[in-house]
Structure formats: structure tokens, C-alpha cells
Homo-oligomer: A and B are copies of this chain.
Amino acid sequence: MNIGEAAKASGVSAKMIRYYESIGLIPAAGRTESGYRVYAPTEVQMLRFIRRSRDLGFPVEKIEELLALWRDRTRQSADVKRLATEQIDGLERKVREMQAMIDTLRHLADACCGDHRPDCPILADLGHGVEHGLNGAGPQGSKVGPMRLSPIR
């Protein structure tokens, strides 16, 4: 099985397979006499493992740990579960941040009539940087809200 076939079978692009090898996430593949990489079903399975982990949002660094646990017959499932719950927590944090952005944006967009006239509360907010009253209840409204979030990245 050469790299193209392994890529198709695993869902990981040939480019990424080489990359994963270069950073040591997977061991160096065997080679034919002419230098082509050769993959056994075991290695394809490992690539599928990686692909699936990526699909769940795990960074390569964490996938390294997951792979180590996968290979370790004496692992403790608690370690795996911890990685999973940490991943959940990280994703939920990002979701909360983005949801806050969405809430602010929707509030602003709702206030913008979106016609041919130039007046626009969205630009007014961005330019002025004032409180935008997501809590319409008045001046005693708490200052909490979807503002000043750390960037997503």
C-alpha cells in the first residue's frame, strides 16, 4: 500500500501523512527500494485513529497522548476519560465565547434596519465602543455580557 492508497483508506491526505511522520506523531513508514513509503493495514488503522481524533477537535499534541494510551495495554481508562473531558471543556469554553459574540452581533444586527440609509447602530457601537444595552432594563443593568472576549483562534 503506497501513500496515496493509505490516504484514501484512512481519510488523511498524503500531505498530512508525511507531515505526521515528520513531526514524529507516527513512526517512519517502511520504504520500497525506490524510496516509496509503504503502509500496512495496522498503520492505516492508526491513521484512521488520528483522523477521527482530529474530527473530534483534538490537537496533534493530545492525539499523541491518545495514541500512547491506545498502544498501552496497561493504561487506565481514567486517563483517557480525562483527556476527553478536558477536550469537552475546551470546546465548551470556545462555544460560550462564540455564543457571546453571536448574541452581541444579533442584538446589533436586529437594531440595524438594513436599508439604503447610512445610519447604523452596528458601526455606531464599533466606533463608539459604548455599552449596547443587551439588557434593555435600564441603567442598573449589570455590565456582564458578551463584551471583551479573548479571540477565538
Contacts and interface: CB of A to CB of B under 8 A. Distances in A.
A102 B95 contact: yes
B101 A91 contact: yes
Interface stretch (A17-25, A28-36, A121-129, A135-143): A121-129
A112 to B, nearest CB: 5
A75 interface: yes
A contact face: mostly helix, strand, loop, or mixed = helix
A78 interface: yes
Given A45-B127, A95-B95, A120 B55 contact: no
Interface in A32-67: 45, 48-49, 52-57, 66
A123 B85 CA distance: 14
Contacts of A52: 125-126, 129
Contacts of A95: 95, 98-99, 102
Contact of A98 (B45, B57, B109, B151): B57
Q: Nearest 4 A-B pairs (CB), nearest first?
A: A81-B114, A77-B120, A84-B109, A78-B114
Interface of A: 45, 48-49, 52-57, 66, 69-70, 72-78, 80-82, 84-85, 87-88, 91-92, 94-95, 98-99, 101-102, 104-106, 108-109, 112-120, 122-123, 125-127, 129, 147-149, 151-152
